[in-house]
Chain A
């Protein structure tokens, strides 16, 4: 095969795999930011926290990182419930969520990063699963399991979340709560309860994305920073509240980044990927996969 074509195909495939990781990181934010209107910029920091606890627990118990990520998720759900309760009590209830709420999550992010340095130290941590150095080959295309497994894991988590949101009354209430919380009360729904639950789910997803992150790469306390811009960009391109849109946008973002890096060098990839976001915002402000209402 033509070497350029092989390069391109491999760039696309590994971009899709990278996109799987982005989807994991962005899906929880699609719930908090897209559905609840909560601008949680601490989301990637919480993902990295999840990654650190996966390393610690996985090393201690001798278990696979993704299994640990599932097992610890309920604890992160509770953490999310706690964070939302504080956010609601101090900001949302008083109608000060716009600026002060943003500052709150900024603060949470810094506290988490410093906390991680203090507890785990500043150096990189890793926990290799048994398949870390296995690569499947389909003809000329490489499929490293280190990328493929977390990507599939992410799709599985998002798929389950999608089913839950679309099949349950709670899911319907989550989709409605940011549109008109007061009207929701007239349907006998307590909007604060719904938001608390949804934010808990969002943080549980962040921690599971942390498990996926550990499989892909070693983590350090500031690993979340490179994700902040990307996950928000993906949520916006995906149409905010749409999980399928979020996945598609994440995969596209990964492919654009990776193909650009393959042919023009890695320093171009963020510029091209974010330039693309600007184009989307200019021509389809509701997002690539969002519906205009």
Chain B
């Protein structure tokens, strides 16, 4: 299963009130690829993700998703509407519902009509990919460990039947071994569901492992675009910022 959905961001400005966070940011997420957006804290990764989802409204520029060959302009849509198009975000900090059980959290992911129709098969897929969640299906999410919560967050995204998956800083608060596991899980989700993936991450080494393409954002400007993981690793700036070489 290969994805035919892509994302094209052109020259967006966005921020909060008088504070401008993104300036003239462009990037493209080609169909069927995993694109990583690299940057340290406070450079605008989350704001970019939020702009795509309609949680922040850009003051300039366009965000166009091409879904099965049809372009859809996302600017001006509410988050609910963006999700209805099959663009699903695993937000920073996971944002699960702590006083609901694992299965209730997963089912909520399938709220939209398209996902609801596929609920049984997607739930089975979730439990196959994350057997731990099946064991813990009646446990309250608030009482689970960070790694388990990350599985619920990814599982909830599977339940939404995404076409384009956005993942914002999946490594936050996780032990290194779990970060590595998380990257593998995202790669597996992409392969199984035929997704296009955009992941914001500050853990360079882990992120490039699954990346087809990468961007580096510094102070709200796109400063580097690398066609491949190799190009990213060889880049002078990336070496300076991330690798301290």
Contacts and interface: CB of A to CB of B under 8 A. Distances in A.
B116 A179 contact: no
Given A179-B97, A179-B98, A180-B95, A188 B112 contact: yes
B122 to A, nearest CB: 13
A179 B99 contact: yes
Interface residues of B, number: 29
Given A183-B96, A241-B99, A175 B104 contact: yes
B83 interface: yes
B88 interface: yes
Contact of B104 (A172, A183, A188): A172
A99 interface: no
A209 B88 CA distance: 42
Nearest to A166: B104
Contacts of B78: 185, 190
Contacts, number: 72
Interface in A167-213: 169, 172-173, 175-176, 179-180, 182-190
Contacts of A118: none
Contact of A293 (B98, B107, B160): B98
Contacts of A172: 100, 104, 107-108, 111
A186 B97 contact: no
Given A185-B78, A190-B80, A173 B108 contact: yes
A67 B223 CA distance: 70
Between A179, A184, A188, the greatest number of chain B beta carbons within 10 A of the residue's beta carbon is seen for A188
A187 B100 contact: no
A287 to B, nearest CB: 12
A210 B121 CA distance: 45
Contacts of B40: none
Interface in B44-76: 53, 55
Interface in B100-136: 100, 104, 107-112, 116
Nearest to B54: A185
B53 A188 contact: no
B95 A186 contact: yes
**B interface, over-half SS:** mixed
A173 B190 CA distance: 27
Nearest to B157: A186
Given A169-B111, A173-B108, A293-B98, A185 B143 contact: no
A180 B153 CA distance: 14
Interface in A220-251: 241
A248 B82 CA distance: 42
Contacts of A185: 55, 78-80, 83
A183 B109 CA distance: 10
A241 B104 CA distance: 15
B160 A187 contact: yes
Contacts of B142: 293
A186 B80 CA distance: 6
Contact of A183 (B97, B116, B160): B97
A180 B142 CA distance: 13
Given A188-B111, A189-B111, A183 B91 contact: yes
A196 B55 CA distance: 21
B29 interface: no
Contacts of B143: 293
Given A172-B107, A173-B111, A293-B98, A188 B140 contact: no
Interface of B: 53, 55, 78-80, 83-84, 88-89, 91, 95-100, 104, 107-112, 116, 140, 142-143, 156, 160
Interface of A: 169, 172-173, 175-176, 179-180, 182-190, 241, 291, 293
18 contacts: A169-B108, A169-B116, A172-B100, A172-B104, A173-B111, A175-B104, A176-B97, A179-B100, A183-B91, A183-B96, A186-B88, A186-B91, A187-B156, A188-B84, A188-B160, A189-B80, A189-B108, A291-B99
